[in-house]
């Protein structure tokens, strides 16, 4: 059996690439239009990040970058271990969460399923060990 190790940075890259797949549905460029590269750099999900969008309309590219950043901010508000006010941080700190976000509930459900499938080898409750 071949085991594939997926490190955090690679996982973030794969997730970001998958999130950009809907952009492929954009209309094909018209003859003579030259895609322009728009670049954003900053921090996302606790790591250095870069967004690059090739689009003939710089304003549309900027709009797409802003939408991407809004989605990143939404996900960080739910899943960030670096933000003390994120839903996941609150759950870890308090042991419970009133009105949890649906994305978190779904993820925890999948984590439980993978734990069962691996006879406990996958354990989503490992965070306290990382803190030690």
In the chain, domain spans: 1-79
pTM over 0.75: no
State the residue for tokens 């967004």: 51
Query: 123-132 pLDDT, tens per residue?
Result: 888 766 777 7
Query: 13-54 pLDDT, tens per residue?
Result: 656 666 665 655 555 556 666 778 999 999 988 889 999 999
| CA gap 4, 34 in Å, rounded | 39
């Amino acid at each position: 059996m071949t085991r594939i190790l997926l490190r955090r940075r690679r996982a973030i890259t794969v997730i970001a690439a998958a999130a950009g797949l809907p952009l492929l549905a954009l209309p094909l460029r018209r003859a003579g239009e030259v895609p322009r590269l728009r670049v954003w750099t900053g921090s996302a999900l606790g790591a250095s990040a870069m967004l690059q969008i090739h689009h003939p309309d710089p304003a549309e590219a900027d709009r797409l970058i802003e939408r991407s950043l809004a989605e990143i901010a939404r996900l960080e508000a739910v899943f960030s271990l670096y933000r003390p006010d994120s839903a996941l941080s609150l759950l870890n700190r308090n042991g419970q969460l009133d009105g949890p976000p649906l994305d978190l509930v779904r993820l925890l459900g999948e984590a439980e399923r993978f734990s069962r499938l691996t006879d406990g080898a996958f354990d989503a409750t490992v965070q306290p060990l990382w803190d030690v």
